[in-house]
A and B are shown apart, each in its own frame.
Chain A
Amino acid sequence: MDINGKYCIVGVGHTAYGRLPGRTAVNLTVEAIRNAIDDSGIDKSEIDAVLTKYPTSNFQSLFSTRVSQALGVYPKVTATLDQAGASNIGLIAYAIFCIEAGLCSAAVVSYGDNPLTGTRAVYGGRPAGATYGGDEAVSGMTGAPCGYALIAQRYRFEYGLKEEQLGTIATTFRRHASLNPNAQYRDPMSMEDYLNARWVAEPFRLFDCCPVTDGAAAVVVTSAERARALKKAPVYVMGFGQGHPSWDLPQRPVWTTTGAAISGPAALRMAGIGVSDVDFAELYDCFTIVPIVTLEDYGFCKKGEGPEYIGGGRIDLAGELPLNTSGGLLSETGMPGMQLIVEAVRQLRGEAGPRQVRDPEIGIVSNQGGIMTTHATLVLRR
């Protein structure tokens, strides 16, 4: 099955990002899908597949069917996927498989959740009186920051890692967010600001961790043939990949190489390109260590060289590999990954305004979830 160049993302949309009280995962998702459909110029009656990532903070069964009902769509294909933060790319792959198989012709792929104003128990913090738990709860370690901090500490031991190198990730992405009107955090952040922020779980300070936010984002996927008649320039899917370490962190044999090492090369192989052909990257950055490890695992640099690789302006908008041009999870919004796909599409269309990378042809996106438990990669071209 040759996928490269046969399918396109033709529309992107999202809600405001931040504190959105009174909203639900379903109505946020519908707003994002409506905006993506409008952006594509496709008629809603053509949408015959509705695919959703489950709302992280409020797992509910049959979520995609509720979204379908709220959209007024009677889909030929619908599904909700659980690959945590890797789900968005997993769903784009699923959409392409179903279109290729003739089951449907135009899919919306979406994520929406309201963990900030709804329930956020899944992100850590437990009410008093929760008196029984597993080893992590018993030892006072709850939530994703602790897990990723354990990985960062191990990385530092194996390869070396300076706090300013994590700070380069946080401050660079904030600078990019300052040029993005949709970003939740646009105030400038200096290295001093980064280093002076409070500790969360050493080696992580506050700005090593992405925020918890409400919001939704969506894309429309269809065939290249259909895409050519639509109003905006199509963005072609060149390749995708997955790799899922899956095991709970303690028993996982290796912590500093992730599913990206399988997923990235698979996606690049499908795309028929190498990393030197990539003009910019939008890499999942729930915590500052993650894009550093992902760059290594994708082959942009050797294992252990990531902390040096991101220095010297290389990941700035005008650098050799502009990285997280909209601010990423760390500064645009803590949403798990769909915003990175939206931004890659905008960059390839030349719609990114003051943060536009110069004339990009190919972009790579990573999604990952859990504690580096899942990983997926998407390669796009204009």
Chain B
Amino acid sequence: MTAEYAKPLPLRTEENAPYINGLKEKQVRLQRCGGCGRFRYPPSQFCPSCLSDEAEWQGVSGRGTVYSFIIVHQLYHPGFREDIPYSVAVVELDEGPRLTANIVGCANDDLRIGMPVQADFFQAAPDAVILKFRPA
């Protein structure tokens, strides 16, 4: 944790607040539809599968596999200057939804699509936890 964390922090909205709060408690929490039972992400009022507006927030396993990834060399935000080249992955959770996050604990050259990963929680600021993944 550092007061000088210079990268963007998660933007909290009315719809994603339970997700953001879940991260602070070191849990991946997703909406599960009361109509069709599917987990979904990003958070939304209505289920994009069955359009039900009944949903409850549930903790999920935090386990998944790498669906795709890139190694970023271009400086897109000054806060990432020291990290270049760094990986960004789309991770498919065992429950279905896919999340975009950095992978930690894995050299860029060792990253593979299909690799099992596990959620990792990074305390970026006193009031902000960022979801990352590490090899399971």
Q: Which of A195-203, A219-227, A271-279, A334-342 makes up part of the contact surface?
A: A195-203
Pick the contact of A130 from B8, B69, B113 — CB < 8 Å? B8
Task: State the Cβ distance, A130 to closest chain B Cβ, in Å.
Answer: 6
The reply to whether A146 and B69 contact each other, CB–CB distance below 8 Å, is no
Closest Cβ–Cβ distance, residue B89 to chain A (whole Å): 8
* A136 proximity list for chain B (CB < 8 A): 88, 100
- Please tell me if the beta carbons of B70 and A140 are within 8 angstroms of each other in the complex: no
How many inter-chain contacts with C-beta < 8 Å in the A-B complex? 114
Flag if A140 contacts B7 (CB, 8 Å): yes
Question: Most chain-B Cβ atoms within 10 A of its Cβ — which of A140, A154, A204, A249?
Answer: A140
Partner of B77, one of A137, A201, A203, A204: A137
Contact of B88 with A199 in the complex, beta carbons under 8 Å: no
Given A131-B9, A251-B41, A198-B73 contact (CB < 8 Å): yes
Q: Which of A2-10, A120-128, A235-243, A305-313 contacts B (4 or more CB under 8 A)?
A: A120-128
Q: For residue B12, which residue of chain A has the nearest CB?
A: A132
Partner of B80, one of A140, A154, A255: A140
The answer to whether B67 has its CB under 8 Å from any CB of chain A is yes
B113, A157: Cβ atoms closer than 8 Å: yes
B residues less than 8 Å from A128 (CB atoms) = 6, 77-79
Using Cβ atoms and an 8 Å threshold, which residues of chain A touch B8? Answer: 126, 130-133, 137-138
Give min CB distance, B122 to chain A, whole Å.
Answer: 10
Contact flag A154-B68 (CB < 8 Å), given A137-B77, A140-B77: yes
Q: How far is the CB of A14 from chain B (nearest CB, A)?
A: 29
> Is B57's CB within 8 Å of the partner chain A?
no
With A131-B8, A157-B113, A201-B73 already in contact, the answer to whether A139 and B101 are too (CB < 8 A) is yes
Taking a contact as CB atoms under 8 Å apart, the answer to whether B76 and A140 are in contact is yes
- B17 interfacial by beta-carbon distance below 8 Å: no
Q: With A139-B100, A251-B41 in contact, is A126–B9 under 8 Å at CB?
A: no
What is the chain A residue whose CB lies nearest that of B100? A135
User: Smallest Cβ distance from B2 to chain A, in angstroms?
Assistant: 14
Alpha-carbon distance A125/B8, docked complex (angstroms) = 12
Can you report 9 A-B residue pairs in the complex whose CB atoms are below 8 A from each other? A124-B76, A126-B77, A133-B9, A137-B77, A139-B88, A150-B68, A151-B68, A202-B71, A251-B41
User: For chain B residues 68-104, which have a beta carbon within 8 Å of chain A?
Assistant: 68-74, 76-80, 83, 85-86, 88, 90, 97-102
Q: Hey, which chain A residues are within 8 Å of B70, CB to CB?
A: 141, 146, 149-150, 153, 201-204
Q: How far is the CA of A199 from the CA of B10 in the complex (A)?
A: 27
Q: Which residues of A140-156 have CB atoms within 8 Å of chain B's CB atoms?
A: 140-143, 145-146, 149-151, 153-154
Report Cα–Cα, A138/B97, bound state, in Å: 18
Indicate the member of A125, A135, A255 with the most B CB atoms within 10 Å.
A135
A134 interface hit (Cβ, 8 Å) = yes
Contacts of B97 in A (CB 8 A): 250-251
Q: Is the CB of B9 within 8 A of A141?
A: no
- The distance in angstroms between the C-alpha atoms of A151 and B70, with both chains bound, is 9
Most chain B CB within a 10 A radius of its CB, from A126, A136, A138, A203: A138
Say yes or no: A135-B101 contact (C-beta < 8 A), given A154-B67, A251-B41. yes
The answer to whether B11 has its CB under 8 Å from any CB of chain A is yes
Chain A hits for B76, CB < 8 A: 124-126, 140-143, 146
